Chain A
Amino acid sequence: MAATPADASSSSSEAVVGGEKSNKMITLISSDGESFEATEEAAKMSVTIKHMIEDGCADDGIPLPNVPAKILSMVIEYCNKHAADADDTNKHVADPADADEDDDNNNNNASAGEKEDLKSFDASLVAVDQATLFDIILAANFLSIKGLLDLACQKVADDIKDKSVEEVREIFKIENDFTKEEEEAVRKENAWAFNE
């Protein structure tokens, strides 16, 4: 899914919001040299990038040698979607003219619908194979995007729930390095160590 700069700019132009925020575009360059554009607001969802912008290192584009193109495009998609949502919430909160009760109800309904929308977007973003999921976790960690990190880690945890030992090994491609005796010892201890 290689996004050309043209695609990147068109998708980011959809995400441009309100006259209050600056429309400055930030260029992000993946590890394999592709460059992507994102609004400053979306890019600032990453604390790492936010610090770089504030320190003035972002003018020529930000190289991200740890993030491949495929993952960077997913990360930018997440940031665009969540930055837009955050801004809408701020708009609802910040508008004092909306003191009317009916309007308030409409706003609440709209944001409830948006929340559902956001949830299903998040779910589809992380419905990927294990390798991509781990790449997303590492990228979110490197870029310090807490929401995306929580989302991806929770997906991995949910994949582990209710699975047997063999199934976990199969899904996550882990080799069994226990000897028979060691495994027996761990099993014995587990039998009498409850964690609640």
Chain B
Amino acid sequence: MRITAKPRRRRGFRRRPRRGGFSAQSTPSITAVSSQLSHPRPPPPFLGSRILRARVQCLPSLEVAQVVQLRYSMEDLPEPLLADIIKRITVSSDLNSLCLVSKQLCAVEAEHRGTIRVGCGVDPTTEALTSLFSRFSNLWKVEINYSGWTPSHGDQVNNQGILVLSHHCPLLSDLTLSFCAHIDDAGLSYLAYCRKLRSLELSFAPAITSTGIFRVAVSCCYLSVLHLVDCIAIESVEWLEYLGRYGSLGELVLKDCDGISQYDLLKFGPGWRKLQRFEFEINGTYWLSERPDPSYVVGYPSSYDICCDNLKDLRLAHIVTKPEIGLRFLLGKCKALETLYLEYVIGLNEDEVISLFQRCCNLKTISLRLMPLRCEDHWFRTALTDDSLEALALSCPMLQVVELTFTFCEPSYPTEIGFTQKGILTLIQSCPIRALVLNGASIFDDEGMKGLSSTQFLEKLDLVDCCSVSDAGMYLIAQAPCLSHLTLRKCSSVTDDGLAALARSQKLESLTVIGCRRISQEGVQGAAKSVCYSSETESHNSLKGMNVYRKIRQSP
């Protein structure tokens, strides 16, 4: 990065070489150099100092030099060095102050600004947006987020805004549009000018239909990340077929797009091979409105000929996968999973899950949210038993994060939870588990806490709706060697006394307590280096990760 400076607004600044600064035995070459220097020559280009009195070179003593007003400005640094300094400033308020200091600094800062987020306050007129995007012409990541917008905020950015953005920011590669009601397919078609578009995230975009997504898929050949959240107008998946055959999608997230069903995802075909991250979620009373598989034939279990060898992150939430297999086919095909989230997937088959665990030895994070159902053996319980936990313990030596949530399980009927406390403890003790979440685990009591207290690696523990863990359990967990973060939500049997044990051990970095009716604000003081307390009761949806009240909008 060797760049010579452009001299700017400099006055003359001449210095004579020090006479007598060389030893008597100076070599001929040094003398030659010094003779060059003895001629007064133009100042070295980098010294752009502005000295108001040019006579300083005649004044040998320092005291007089101090009287001279030396103005040496940051603006005399060459631009790449200014950019290096400005890139190290990351806080918005500092950058805003910097922009207002002088025109040059404003220009350099704007040239190197890479990401921007605009919201309700932005002026949506074409002139204002043109001025904004031509000022920041090297943006690669843009977010337009109208969350919280009301009519009193004025107009929203519309399709013209996207046209202006695509013309002025050729390096745009990540675009996120949230709650933008006035951007429709025509607006998305302007993204064809953004040749480098790599990631598109649409949240609550009611005006975007599948045509718009199809246009983006065809014109932006580098598209590799696509998130569609609550896009109710998307009802067909030609774009998905296209991306499967000709695209290079690596990450696909579909949430609450009611017009897309599980079986539409099969049309992705060859695209599954390249996909690394996939999420599918439909909130609301999904078990009542699931559409059937059009190719399902009773009595012939489906087996899709799809390869998903590169899938590393998989999340399936709130889907019904029986009698048709639906997206559950992924569980039969994945080999390289590292993160697995199965949340309220109805129709899980334990044998299939066990063989999945046996194939995916790189699994690092697993989250299971389960509710009890009538099972094949006629028991009313969650679909998985200790056999699954055993398979995990034996086959996944790199497992670090485990989250187990049980919903609608009655504490007085402990068999509704298919796992036992012993099974859970065996898993924790067999794998290097760093973080554990137990939610609704009424089978987990103080004996279980004793088992946890001897684990070698546990750093983070979340106990949510665990009614069987009491103060005795807290005394025991205070002895866990590595525990540094503890969260208690709706744990009705823990009182201030239990936290006193934690305060005495002085080991915790952070403690969060929410909605535990027998723990007071005073009780948490001093229990950890940083404490967060709230007495508010959380809703069932928030505790269990469901949203049953969402109304599913089906096309007529």
Contact = CB atoms under 8 A, between A and B. Distances in A.
Interface of A: 2, 4-5, 27, 29, 31-35, 48, 60-61, 63, 65-66, 68, 130-131, 134-135, 137-138, 141-142, 144, 149, 153-154, 156-157, 160-165, 168-169, 172-178, 182-183, 185-196
B91 A176 contact: no
B22 interface: yes
Contacts of A157: 85-86, 88-89
Interchain residue pairs A-B with the least CB separation, the first 3? A33-B17, A157-B88, A131-B72
A137 B102 contact: no
A137 B44 contact: no
Contacts of A27: 30
A189 B131 contact: yes
Nearest to A139: B46
A33 B37 contact: yes
Given A35-B30, A134-B72, A138-B46, 19 more contacts: A2-B18, A31-B37, A32-B15, A32-B17, A33-B18, A60-B27, A131-B72, A142-B2, A149-B84, A160-B85, A161-B91, A169-B102, A174-B73, A175-B102, A177-B103, A193-B118, A194-B116, A195-B92, A195-B117
Interface in B83-121: 84-86, 88-92, 94-103, 105-106, 113, 115-119, 121
B124 to A, nearest CB: 10
B297 interface: no
26 contacts: A2-B18, A4-B21, A5-B22, A31-B44, A33-B34, A48-B2, A60-B27, A60-B30, A138-B46, A142-B46, A144-B2, A157-B85, A162-B94, A168-B98, A172-B74, A173-B72, A173-B74, A178-B103, A186-B100, A189-B128, A189-B132, A192-B119, A193-B116, A194-B119, A195-B90, A196-B92
B75 to A, nearest CB: 6
Contacts of A196: 92, 115, 117
A29 to B, nearest CB: 6
Contacts of B73: 172-174
A190 B123 contact: no
Interface in B385-430: none
Contact of B96 (A33, A48, A65, A190): A190
B306 interface: no
A131 B121 CA distance: 40
A174 B74 contact: yes
B33 A33 contact: yes
B81 interface: yes
Contacts of A60: 27, 29-30
A132 to B, nearest CB: 9
Contacts of A31: 15, 37, 44
B37 A193 contact: no
B81 A61 contact: no
A160 B122 contact: no
B121 A192 contact: yes
A177 B73 CA distance: 14
Contact of B22 (A35, A160, A169, A186): A35
B264 interface: no
B74 A130 contact: yes
A181 B49 CA distance: 30
A184 to B, nearest CB: 10
Contacts of B121: 191-192
B71 A173 contact: yes
Contacts of B47: 68, 135
A63 B103 CA distance: 36
A194 B98 CA distance: 14
Contact of B85 (A4, A156, A169): A156
B1 interface: yes
Contacts of A193: 116-118, 122, 132, 136
B135 interface: yes
B22 A33 contact: yes
Nearest to B94: A161
A33 B17 CA distance: 6
A33 to B, nearest CB: 3
A178 B123 CA distance: 22
B76 interface: yes
Nearest to A168: B101
Nearest to B16: A32
A186 B106 contact: yes
B295 interface: no
B75 A195 contact: no
B34 A156 contact: no
Given A33-B22, A66-B44, A176 B37 contact: no
Nearest to B26: A35
Interface in B201-218: none
Contacts of A63: 33
Given A32-B17, A189-B131, A195 B113 contact: yes
Contacts of B29: 60-61
A31 B38 CA distance: 11
A160 B89 contact: yes
A164 B98 CA distance: 8
B307 interface: no
Nearest to A187: B100
A186 B98 CA distance: 11
Contacts of A189: 128, 131-132, 135
A127 to B, nearest CB: 17
Contacts of A191: 121
B117 A141 contact: no
- B5, B99, B122 interface centre (most CB from chain A within 10 Å): B99
Nearest to A157: B88
Contacts of A142: 2, 46
Contacts of B75: 172, 174
